[in-house]
Amino acid sequence: MKEETVAVGRTVKKRFWTAIAAGFLAFGAMVAVFGMNMTAVAMPLGGMGDFYVELDELQGEDFHLAPHIGETGEADEAPMVRNEIGNVDITNLHIYKDLRMPGTENWIRINITSPSVSIDGLIQDARLIDANLDFNDLAIEQSNTDEFTENWTQNAETITITDAKIVTDYLFQSVVSLEGAEISVENIDEPETMEPGV
């Protein structure tokens, strides 16, 4: 009879389940807090190619527009504009993305709608903007640099956009509040396509 001591790693079930429960409780609490007033902090939306943004009216302060190159669903490098707006209030926002169901010919559209949206620190990369635009104190600044994103910028103190349809590839908001937001999915016959000049 020989005895020896060996070190063995174990998972203590009680501690494991306590940690899991605490983790999901904290996760649920965080979702509940943000879900009650539909506020999200540092909210990115991107990495999935083109998606569409429609709105009735946008009132923004501290507007900057600069040239940009980014990826879309079809191309790694496509010409875009980068809009940065400090504070934004939107009436009747509709964001939608068309997706083909894997392995089928059917298309679905995922809709996010909200009658009243306020955003702090909006950054948006757009491939196409079809809208009525109204600026206050518009200034176009140019600088002699090899960095194409800094060659020129278009700045304005305030911007008003009405009846807009924007082909977007990236969206980032430092703080976003969506009142009465609704998320829905519907079947569609064919996906939305929108190209310049159409």
Partner 1 sequence: MENAGRFKRWRNRRPFWGATLTLLAGLMILYIPLHLYAIAFAPGSLAFVGFLFGGLVMIMGTLAYIYPQFSTVFGVVTIFLSILSIMGALGGFIVGTIAGIIGGALCVGWRMEEVTVDEGRSGGKKTKRAKRAKDDEGTVTASST
Q: Give me 124's structure tokens.
A: 């948006």
Q: Output the smallest distance, CB 9 to partner 1, in A.
A: 5
Q: Output the smallest distance, CB 132 to partner 1, in A.
A: 27
Binding site for partner 1 (CB under 8 A): 1-20, 22-24, 26-27, 30-31, 40-44, 46-47, 68, 70, 84, 121, 123, 125, 170, 172, 174
Q: Which is nearer to partner 1, 24 or 186 (CB)?
A: 24
At 24, is the secondary structure helix, strand, or coil?
A: helix
Q: Output the smallest distance, CB 71 to partner 1, in A.
A: 8
Which residue do the tokens 């948006």 mark?
124
Q: Which is nearer to partner 1, 114 or 124 (CB)?
A: 124
Q: Output the smallest distance, CB 46 to partner 1, in A.
A: 5
At 106, is the secondary structure helix, strand, or coil?
A: coil
Q: Output the smallest distance, CB 28 to partner 1, in A.
A: 10
- Residue 126 in contact with residue 164, Cβ under 8 Å? no
Q: Output the smallest distance, CB 166 to partner 1, in A.
A: 17
Q: Which is nearer to partner 1, 12 or 36 (CB)?
A: 12
Q: Which is nearer to partner 1, 19 or 188 (CB)?
A: 19
Report d(CA 198, CA 194) in Å as an integer: 7
- Residue 79 in contact with residue 128, Cβ under 8 Å? no
Strand pairing partners for 184? 111
Q: Which is nearer to partner 1, 42 or 75 (CB)?
A: 42
* Sign of the Cα pseudo-torsion (116, 110, 30, 173, in order): negative
Q: Which is nearer to partner 1, 47 or 197 (CB)?
A: 47
Alpha carbon distance, N-terminus to C-terminus of the chain: 88
Nearest to 188 by CA among 100, 128, 117, 112: 100
